[in-house]
């Protein structure tokens, strides 16, 4: 693993993010994705909404200055959530763990929530290594799999000493 950073999203990142989010293996691991990850118009509309939403912070994950993925913070039903998605070339080298650490450090609100498909053992490992604990499971239709799948919700609560 090289030097990992989070930086603001810019227009030059959109092609790389689109390609990452339509990669079939990545889509199957994320499971809860767009109905059609290959629809560029739908992607462009979605990312445009994310970029102007006041409660969304969207970042590019870089390794040694090169594109490695994306990370975001947003609010759903009053809960602050974090999310990350790494390009396949960045899998299995600690980049997600470091990106999540950097993301969590930027967000003072606690508790924080995150979600993972139950079959995505690598993402579950990243979340638990980063201090998140499982709080619930549910089954919902997962477009990335084309069937119902189990989703796990995790939370990160404040440390006992308030840090």
Per domain, the residue ranges of the chain are 4-156
Strand partners, 156: 112
What's the CATH number for 4-156?
A: 3.40.630.30
Residues 6+ apart with CB under 8 A from 63: 1, 2, 3, 4, 90, 95
Q: Are 75 and 41 in contact (CB under 8 A)?
A: no
Per-residue model confidence as pLDDT tens for the chain (163 residues): 799 999 999 999 999 999 999 999 999 999 899 999 999 999 999 999 999 999 999 999 999 999 999 999 999 999 999 999 999 999 999 999 999 999 999 999 999 999 999 999 999 999 999 999 999 999 999 988 989 899 999 999 865 444 3
Residue 135 tokens read as: 């709080």
Whether a cis peptide bond, with omega within 30° of 0, leads into 111 is yes
| 8 Å CB contact between 123 and 134 | no
pTM, to two decimals: 0.92
């Amino acid at each position: 693993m090289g030097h990992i950073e989070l930086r603001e999203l810019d227009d030059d990142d959109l092609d790389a993010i689109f390609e990452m989010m339509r990669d079939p293996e990545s889509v199957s691991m994320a499971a809860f994705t767009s109905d059609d990850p290959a629809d560029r118009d739908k992607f462009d509309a979605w990312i445009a909404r994310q970029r102007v939403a006041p409660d969304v912070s969207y970042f590019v994950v870089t390794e040694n200055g090169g594109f490695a993925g994306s990370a975001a913070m947003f609010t759903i039903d009053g809960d602050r959530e974090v999310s990350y998605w790494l390009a396949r070339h960045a899998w299995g080298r600690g980049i997600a763990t470091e990106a999540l650490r950097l993301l969590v450090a930027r967000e003072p609100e606690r508790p924080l929530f995150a979600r993972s498909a139950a079959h995505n053992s690598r993402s579950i490992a990243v979340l638990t290594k980063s201090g998140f604990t499982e709080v619930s499971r549910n089954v919902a239709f997962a477009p990335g799999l084309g069937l119902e799948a189990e989703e796990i919700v995790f939370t990160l609560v404040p440390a006992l000493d308030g840090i």
